[in-house]
Amino acid sequence: MSHQFKYKHISPTILELYWPASIEESTLMEMMSMKTQIQHIWQEALLETTMGYHCLSLRFASPIALDEVLNKLERIAEKNGSSSSNFSRKQWTIPVQYTGKDLERVAKHTGLAQDELIALHQAPSYLLYFYGFMPGFMYLGGLDQQLFVPRKEQPDPMIEKGSVAIGGKQTGIYPMNSPGGWNVIGKTPVQLFDVNMDPPLKPQPGDKIKFEAISAENYQDIISQMEEKNYQLPYEKI
């Protein structure tokens, strides 16, 4: 780790480790490397390891001896600082039909033409920081500033599964039907989260996400392929 080790001992079973409070790819990579080693050391003693943008949380099954845990963490952190992470990372391409009901709203707010904003949304390679909010909801970094659009004051009672949306400085995909206040610009035919898949989610934190515009015909094709269990979400190694 490239900074002084910071932690908060929240309760007898919860310990949170902190990185500087900003949204950085380097922080994510350090956190993931720490997480892997922590899981390796404590295994079943850990109920959960969860991440935010700059916080890695460790929930233990029973109360911890803080000094002992911190000593081990210090040693992991020292090693971590001297070795570069060697994750196998992937870039996934998610097909999107850009016909969302709020396209016009987003165009109006940003002053962009619809095809311009669709191009801007596809341009970046978004970094998947972590999942939260609901099962399978990706926290993605890298939205173009020109696409920052406030959330709706009145959330929609139902946003359909697969909807691709923009809310504030973020973009994301609703993995299941849900109420929501984001502006829907498109929809993916791909079922990204499915408890019957192993694993239920393919993209993992640290991976990148690209959006790719598809036609209505492509959309239907992918739906049919998925029904025949014949569709693989495309990816390349990065």
Partner 1 sequence: MKRSEGTLEVIKSGFYGSIQDLGRFGYAHWGIPAAGAMDEQSYLLANHLLQNAPNDACLELTLIGGEFQFHHPTTIVITGAPVNIQVNGQTYPINHVIDIKAGELLRLSPVKKGCRIYLGIYGGFQTEEVLGSKSWYAGITQNTKLEKGMSLPYQSVPQKRTAPHAKVAMDDALFEDEVLEVYRGAEAAEMDEQRFEQLLAGEFYLSAKQNRMGIQLEEKFENSLSEILTAPVYPGTVQLTPGGKLMILMKDAQVTGGYPRILQLSPQAISCLSQKKQGDKVRFTLIDEW
Instruction: Name the site residues for partner 1 (rule: CB under 8 A).
Output: 8, 10-12, 14, 16, 21-23, 47-55, 57, 59, 130-137, 139, 175-176, 193, 195, 199-201, 205
Q: Nearest Cα to 133, choosing from 161, 92, 174, 102?
A: 174
Pick 114 or 204: Cβ nearer partner 1 = 204
CB of 114 to partner 1, least distance (A): 30
Q: At what angle do helices 103-110 and 114-122 cross, to 10 degrees?
A: 90
Cα(49)–Cα(39) distance, rounded to whole angstroms? 8
What does the block give as tokens for 20? 């500087």
The 8-class DSSP code of residue 149 comes to: B
Pick 68 or 217: Cβ nearer partner 1 = 68
Pick 124 or 205: Cβ nearer partner 1 = 205
Could you tell me if 184 and 164 are in contact, meaning their C-beta atoms sit under 8 angstroms apart? yes
CB of 55 to partner 1, least distance (A): 4
Which residues sit opposite 168 in a β-bridge? 149
Cα(230)–Cα(200) distance, rounded to whole angstroms? 16
Pick 117 or 208: Cβ nearer partner 1 = 208
CB of 136 to partner 1, least distance (A): 6
CB of 214 to partner 1, least distance (A): 25
Q: What is the DSSP string of 194-231?
A: -TTSSSSBSS-TT-EEEEEE--HHHHHHHHHHHHTT--
Q: Identify the H or E element spanning 41.
A: helix 25-42
Q: Identify the H or E element spanning 9.
A: strand 6-11
Pick 113 or 133: Cβ nearer partner 1 = 133
CB of 112 to partner 1, least distance (A): 27
CB of 225 to partner 1, least distance (A): 23
Pick 120 or 176: Cβ nearer partner 1 = 176
CB of 135 to partner 1, least distance (A): 5
Pick 147 or 192: Cβ nearer partner 1 = 192
Q: What is the DSSP string of 160-176?
A: -TTEEEEEBTEEEE-SS
